[in-house]
Amino acid sequence: LSAGETAKFIHSTGLGLTNEPFDLTQGYLEYLAPVGNGLKFTLGKFATFIGGEVIEAKDNAMYSRSILFFYAIPFTHTGLKMDYSFSDAFSLGIYVVNGWDNVQDNNKGKTFGISLGVAPVKALSMYFNFMIGPEQNNNSSDNRLILDWVATITPVKALTISLNVDYGQEDKATATLGKAKWYGFSGIIKYQFNDMFSLAGRGEFFKDDGGTRTGTDQKLKEITITPELVIAKGLILRGEYRHDWSDQLVFNLNSTNKKTQDTVSLSAMYTW
């Protein structure tokens, strides 16, 4: 269950009003079939397998989420997924779902996804994700496709490097019924100085070709710096500076449209 401003943004259609500050983010049944190393079936509503960041801020390196998280990929799916780990180095996931961020399907088609997990060495893990299916209302013919690559590199114990590349397209999705395209990449570096303090930095680029993801045909970029302090067990304090910029006038300040935006934030999180 999610609550607050994030819940409004990730809210699935078909589950209450879309602007409600509450969202049943996940609710599912699991069954582990006694096949080989264990074939896991999950039926219900669950978070997406696509992307380098997740909905829960505590599990990300930064407090604010990336442009790719909000505009390149889905948040949740409703349907069936099957996961199987062949070994510590290779896993496979297969998905049959209603689509992107909808509990009730908005057309007669289904969306299919595949996730390949590869960890050739201890210091490197990668996921290759693919999803395709019709996502427009009452339209089962025009497909939306997303290709997603996520890599996590830990050259030393204290240093984590996270890379994410996305490419998406959708048939007849623009205002002129042309093919919409979007793509981008992000990189995050986090260094854990000790048990209490860490510092993370993120940079990313996103191109919305046709304006179907952000509402404007534009190139977006951002850099973010996030120091983190663990005050006590489960209590996390994060400061953050973020600079966003675009090649279009998309940021509004005091009724004036600008190409840049700077934000400073302080967040406190408690986990148990």
pLDDT tens column, 17-65 = 666 777 788 999 999 999 999 999 999 999 999 999 999 999 999 999 9
Task: Note if the pTM is more than 0.85.
Answer: yes
Count other Cβ atoms within 10 Å, centred on residue 200. Answer: 22
Domain 2-270 has CATH 2.120.10.30: no
* Cα-based torsion angle of the residue sequence 204, 208, 213, 214 in order, rounded to the nearest 10 degrees: 80
pLDDT tens readout for residues 168-193? 999 998 777 789 999 999 999 999 99
21: nearest Cα among 30, 9, 32, 13: 9
Q: Residue 13 has what DSSP assignment?
A: B
Separation CA 82–CA 256 (nearest Å)? 49
The phi-psi region of residue 175 (left if phi > 0; otherwise alpha if psi is between -120 and 50; otherwise beta) is alpha
Which residue in 85, 84, 82, 135 sits closest to 113, CA to CA?
A: 82
One-letter amino acid for residue 238 of the chain:
R
- Ranges of each domain in the chain: 2-270
pLDDT in tens, 53-98: 999 999 999 999 999 999 999 999 999 999 999 999 999 999 999 9
Q: Which amino acid is at 28?
A: Y
